[in-house]
Amino acid sequence: MKKFFKIILILIFIIPNVSEAGTLLESLQSAYLNNSKLNAERANMRASREEKREAISEFLPSVTISGYRKSQDNIKGNEASTRIKPKEQSILVEQKIFQGFGGVANLQKKRKGQQLGEFKLKKVEQEILLDAAKAHTELLLNKKKVNINLINVDLLERQVETDQNRLEKGEISLTDLAQSESSLAGATAALIAAQNDLVTSKANFEKIIGKKSATKIQEKEKNNLILPDSLAQAYKIANLENPDLQIAILEYEQSKLDVTIAGSELSPSATLSYKIAEQDDISTTTQERTQETVTATASWPLFAGGKNAFNYRKFQEIKNQKELLLEDQKKTTETEVTNAWSSYQSSKSVLDSIRSQVKAAEIANEGITLEYESGSSRTTLEVIQSRSILLNSRINLASSERNFLISQFNLLSTIGRLTANQLNLNSN
């Protein structure tokens, strides 16, 4: 029995927890499949498809089957009443012939609406994937900060012990020991702050990703992000694929169709209908009768209290509004692409510089520490300053690595390519 429980414990710790997200790709995958906001937008897109099918139905004939049965007493003077029970079964087929081009415009509008739904879904998808990347990298960054601060506290604790021994031997003054103790207290406070940030980032991670973070979230992962080679190429892609710009274009095109639809309310319309009816027990003299009726109906609304004209002018103004918003969105997209490209380039340069800074700080701190411990002229303050520079450079390196990665995701988002398809995520 004891051996059985040991096997169970081993399996618990060896088998990976599928409900946890460990790599960046797993976090993105989880957010893509489980995020409530994204799933809601998927439902909205499916609704837009049904609206297009509804618009197509306007061009198809309508078929109505109807019938009635009633009881009727006929009384004529002093004669005895006669009772008949007339009934009818009929089929009515109606077909719209002309609607002032409103039907065609409405169908085109619904088709644009489906495209609009797809781009709105793409916009939300990009927002969620970008938030997921930020949540994952923020959690990873805060874990690194905690580890860096833990190492720093450990080193300072050992330095305080060393300084206490050196003080007893008369090699340093009480001031030097106080400097070490003060530095340790500051490092402990920084560690507590980093741990609090880690707790917050874990909660944010679970909210956005939809899963708890893995115990060992992956430190480094090769990201095969396909980025534009130049700013000009980024502009070109964004003009075709940026969801905000495409939404503005489609909304403007829909507003033009709304003007056509409103104009059709001032135009004539025509309908053709065919009805066949079988009637039984019509009267005391007629038992059965079959009627076939073909009707062509034309109408032209001349005046409706001015409502049609007011409606037409309203949609004209809405079209003007959408046109202005489209021009503004073009400028906004260009600005966002420029800023994203600039951020990507600058974060890459900053990362290279900080890597060099960390290497230099490590060499300097190692040399100063060895000289201090060997009893040279190096002071406690110099050691503390050296270690502080190294600590800050390592934290800056972790932050810069995250900023560089997020700048790539942000660039993809502005050009419209931060999608599950581009990131090779599984859609099932």
Radius of gyration of the chain (CA): 38
State the CATH number of the domain containing residue 137.
Answer: 1.20.1600.10
Residue 278, in any domain of the structure: no
Q: Which of 400, 404, 417, 413 is nearest to 344 (CA)?
A: 404
| pLDDT score recorded for residue 346 | 96
Residue 19, in any domain of the structure: no
Please give the tally of structural domains in the chain: 1
| pLDDT score recorded for residue 305 | 65
Q: Which two tokens stand for residue 237?
A: 């892609």
C-beta separation of 324 from 264 below 8 A: no
Task: In whole angstroms, give the CA distance from residue 343 to residue 28.
Answer: 22
C-beta separation of 31 from 208 below 8 A: yes
Task: In whole angstroms, give the CA distance from residue 134 to residue 125.
Answer: 14
**Ramachandran quadrant class, 183 (left: phi over 0; alpha: psi -120 to 50; beta: rest):** alpha
| pLDDT score recorded for residue 221 | 57
Residue 238, in any domain of the structure: yes
| pLDDT score recorded for residue 249 | 96
Residue 20, in any domain of the structure: no
Residue 301, in any domain of the structure: no
Residue 9, in any domain of the structure: no
Task: In whole angstroms, give the CA distance from residue 241 to residue 202.
Answer: 33
Give the C-alpha distances (Å, rounded to integers) separating 224 from 9, 192, 227, 298, 341: 38, 36, 9, 64, 18
Q: Which of 238, 254, 416 is nearest to 323 (CA)?
A: 254
| pLDDT score recorded for residue 409 | 96
Range of the domain at 211: 27-58+101-268+307-415
Query: Over the chain, what HEC string results?
Result: CHHHHHHHHHHHHHCCCCCEECCHHHHHHHHHHHCHHHHHHHHHHHHHHHHHHHHHHHHCCEEEEEEEECCEEECCCCCCCEEECCEEEEEEEEEEEECCCHHHHHHHHHHHHHHHHHHHHHHHHHHHHHHHHHHHHHHHHHHHHHHHHHHHHHHHHHHHHHHHHHHHHCCCCHHHHHHHHHHHHHHHHHHHHHHHHHHHHHHHHHHHHCCEECCCCCCCCCCCCCCCCCHHHHHHHHHHHCHHHHHHHHHHHHHHHHHHHHHHCCCCEEEEEEEEEEEECCCCCCCEEEEEEEEEEEECCCCCCCHHHHHHHHHHHHHHHHHHHHHHHHHHHHHHHHHHHHHHHHHHHHHHHHHHHHHHHHHHHHHHHHHHHCCCCCCHHHHHHHHHHHHHHHHHHHHHHHHHHHHHHHHHHHHCCCCCCCCCCCCC
| pLDDT score recorded for residue 428 | 62
Residue 343, in any domain of the structure: yes
| pLDDT score recorded for residue 132 | 94
Q: pTM, whole model, 2 decimals? A: 0.78
Phi and psi, residue 73, nearest 5°:
-105, 130
**Could you tell me which residues come within 8 angstroms of residue 78 by beta carbon, excluding any fewer than 6 positions away?**
none
CA angle 405–332–254, rounded 5-degree value: 115
Residue 117, in any domain of the structure: yes
Q: Which of 41, 195, 44 is nearest to 129 (CA)?
A: 41
Task: In whole angstroms, give the CA distance from residue 410 to residue 416.
Answer: 10
Written as tens digits, the pLDDT of the chain (428 aa) is 434 333 333 333 333 333 455 788 889 999 999 888 898 988 888 887 777 677 677 777 888 898 878 776 666 666 656 677 778 888 988 888 777 677 788 888 888 888 998 999 999 999 999 999 999 999 999 999 999 999 999 988 988 998 898 888 887 888 888 988 999 999 999 999 999 999 999 999 998 988 887 767 765 556 678 999 999 999 999 999 999 999 999 999 999 998 988 887 777 878 888 888 888 766 656 667 788 888 888 887 777 666 777 888 899 999 999 999 999 999 999 999 999 999 999 999 999 999 999 999 999 999 988 888 787 778 888 888 888 899 999 999 999 999 999 999 999 999 999 999 999 887 66
